[in-house]
Amino acid sequence: AELARSTADTRLKRVLETDAVGVIFFDYTGTVVDANDVFLRMVGYTRAEIETRAVTWRTMTPPEWVKVSEEQMLKLEQTGRIGPYEKEYMLKDGSRRWMLFTGRDLGGDRIVEYAIDITRRKQAEATSQAMEERFRALVEASSDVIYRMSPDWKEMRQLQGRDFLSETAEPERTWLEKYIHPEDQAFVWTSIQDAITHQKIFQLEHRVLQADGTIGWTFSRAVPLRNKDGEVIEWFGAASDVTARKRAEEALLRSEKLATLGRLVASIAHEINNPLEAMSNLIYLAHHSIGLPEEAQDLLQLADAELKRIAHITRQSLGFYRESNVPADTSVTQLLESSIDLLRGKINTRHVKIHCQWQDDITIKAVAGELRQVFSNLLANALDALETGGQITIRAKRHHGKDGAYVRILFLDSGRGIPLETQHKIFDPFFSTKGNLGTGLGLWVTKQIVDKHHGSIRVRSRILPPTTGTAFQITLPA
């Protein structure tokens, strides 16, 4: 019996002196009556201080943790056990450490409690939480679309659309068809497979279907996230909305093409001027030849008229290229007539009737080339809206108001009209109802020019038969 008792005491002593575990003995008043050396080192008290019975669990418990400890003491009364629970402990020097506690009632006015110092773990958790909060704040502050993909990219686990793309309510396996433009899907998927195969960053610029149903552009970049074994467990990515930049680049490219075309047209017009003059002289000489049949003279007269029309268009082309950007006295009616002449081929092809309603020559201070661009844009749009055999009415009239004289120009077509839900968008840049045939810049440029001339532009339209059509009204100070 003595041997067994000695062996048990030795085992108990070894248990109590386990390096990582502090052991405390309390009485029912909460006074510390004994502790192992590990606990004494944890809290900084000496054994002599413990023996004075001046140290209690309340002495070592910060005020904000007293309630939690009292709840554990109540649990002890009901179940005979404490914890496990975590709290901060106040050391003798006033510093604090995080401890994990568990214990039980030993009977005979004694309670034992085991304590493990978990300060490093709590600090690591706090650091991790702070980093997670910062990352979450960074994600929320970013204007980029954020997404998470499965290792094989077959499932989109999450997407925050930022009003650019539709957000995912749950994991999405048809994301490629839902978000990527049909013509870009194969290209995007090939790039993804290349990133997966070579375990490299995925980045690509491609078209997407935006939340409002329109086509946009995005620059997408994703990185693989790995576990401790180096295996890819997820792809995390961000996608920037580059739609405005891409449209601006496309518009700039079109503008450059138009500028090049303008220079080419001016060069051609200049080169054909001399042959035109020679042909005019030859027709004149032939027309005045003696003994020429009357039928031949009539034909030569028609040829001369057509040649003069070609020369007129040539001079106009050169005039457009050489026009000044400085406001000057400009004839509104002449600009309207030249705009009609420019589009005469399209007008005749579609058998459109043009009704011009003005009486006198109307002159205002304006940049002629810019104003002609306004009239040509509106006339071209009206022609595009018409079926074969439609009608366009153009009115120009000078008025007098309390703020002075002004000119009102009206373009009225009998076309299909503009739906009410899109009328407020027609002056927005890059908005077009013509699909790939339109740049979406014509009416935007038109409004900019009208605003620059301190004027205004209004639109009214009707799409319900029997009367359909659209009217654009421009008002300019005279």
How does DSSP assign 137-158, residue by residue?
HHHHH--SEEEEE-TTSS-EEE
Query: Does the pLDDT value for residue 315 go beyond 70?
Result: no
Asked if residue 137 belongs to a domain, the reply is no
Asked if residue 342 belongs to a domain, the reply is yes
Going across the sheet that includes 111-117, the strands are 32-35, 22-26, 111-117, 96-105, 81-90
pLDDT tens column, 58-107: 999 999 999 999 999 999 999 999 999 999 999 999 999 999 999 999 88
CA 462 – CA 386 distance, rounded (Å): 13
Q: Which of 241, 259, 285 is the last residue of a domain?
A: 241
CA 250 – CA 441 distance, rounded (Å): 11
One domain for residues 457 and 357: yes
How does DSSP assign 90-101, residue by residue?
E-TTS-EEEEEE
Asked if residue 133 belongs to a domain, the reply is no
Q: Which of 274, 301, 322 is the last residue of a domain?
A: 322
One domain for residues 314 and 337: no
When divided into structural domains, the chain yields a total of: 4
pLDDT for residue 259: 67
pLDDT for residue 273: 74
Which neighbouring-strand residues pair with 219? 205, 240
Where residue 371 sits, what CATH number does that domain have?
3.30.565.10
CA angle 60, 64, 70 (to 5 degrees): 70
Cβ pair 307, 283 in contact under 8 A: yes
Report the candidate in 47, 51, 49, 28 with the shortest Cα–Cα distance to residue 36. Answer: 47
Query: Does the pLDDT value for residue 17 go beyond 70?
Result: no
DSSP 8-state assignment for residue 406: E
pLDDT for residue 18: 62
One domain for residues 362 and 267: no
| Residue bearing the bigger pLDDT, 168 or 413 | 413
Query: Does the pLDDT value for residue 436 go beyond 70?
Result: no
One domain for residues 286 and 193: no
CA angle 84, 87, 89 (to 5 degrees): 120
One domain for residues 226 and 262: no
pLDDT tens column, 158-205: 998 888 898 887 899 999 999 999 999 999 999 999 999 998 999 999
Q: How confident is the model at residue 437 (pLDDT cuts 50, 70, 90)?
A: low
One domain for residues 110 and 43: yes
pLDDT for residue 206: 94
Query: Does the pLDDT value for residue 321 go beyond 60?
Result: no
Amino acid at the residue 44:
G
pLDDT for residue 306: 74
**Residue 125 backbone phi and psi in degrees, to 5:** -65, -40
One domain for residues 102 and 115: yes
Q: Which of 89, 122, 155 is the last residue of a domain?
A: 122
Report the candidate in 145, 139, 141, 166 with the shortest Cα–Cα distance to residue 239. Answer: 145
Give the residue-averaged pLDDT of 312-317.
Answer: 63
Query: Does the pLDDT value for residue 124 go beyond 70?
Result: yes
pLDDT tens column, 212-232: 888 999 999 999 999 989 999
One domain for residues 313 and 375: no
| Residue bearing the bigger pLDDT, 265 or 44 | 44
Share of the chain above pLDDT 90, in %: 49
Give the CB-side neighbour count of residue 15, counting CA atoms within 13 A. 10
Where residue 273 sits, what CATH number does that domain have?
1.10.287
Poorest-pLDDT segment among 122-126, 162-166, 203-207, 301-305: 301-305
Give the residue-averaged pLDDT of 125-138.
Answer: 82
Residue 440 structure tokens: 């979406």
pLDDT for residue 68: 93
* Contacts for 321 with CB less than 8 Å, ≥ 6 apart: 262, 263, 265, 266
Structural domain span for residue 269: 244-322
**Continuous segment of H or E residues that includes residue 286:** helix 243-287
Query: Does the pLDDT value for residue 435 go beyond 70?
Result: no
Residue 203 structure tokens: 């980045």
Would you give the end-to-end CA distance of the chain in angstroms?
A: 123
pLDDT for residue 325: 66
One domain for residues 338 and 464: yes
CA 61 – CA 64 distance, rounded (Å): 8
One domain for residues 297 and 162: no
Asked if residue 129 belongs to a domain, the reply is no
Asked if residue 70 belongs to a domain, the reply is yes
Give the residue-averaged pLDDT of 446-472.
Answer: 90
Which neighbouring-strand residues pair with 397? 408
One domain for residues 231 and 276: no
pTM of the model: 0.46
- Whole-number Cα distances in Å, 323 to 18, 220, 297, 362: 96, 45, 38, 20
pLDDT for residue 213: 87
Asked if residue 186 belongs to a domain, the reply is yes
pLDDT tens column, 351-395: 999 999 998 889 999 988 788 889 988 998 899 889 888 999 999
Where residue 153 sits, what CATH number does that domain have?
3.30.450.20
H-state helical runs in 52-184 = 66-79, 119-141, 175-179
Asked if residue 460 belongs to a domain, the reply is yes
Residue 239 structure tokens: 């996608």
One domain for residues 355 and 460: yes
pLDDT for residue 466: 85
Asked if residue 264 belongs to a domain, the reply is yes
Query: Does the pLDDT value for residue 121 go beyond 70?
Result: yes
**Mean pLDDT of the chain, nearest integer:** 86
Give the residue-averaged pLDDT of 253-275.
Answer: 70
CA 305 – CA 279 distance, rounded (Å): 12
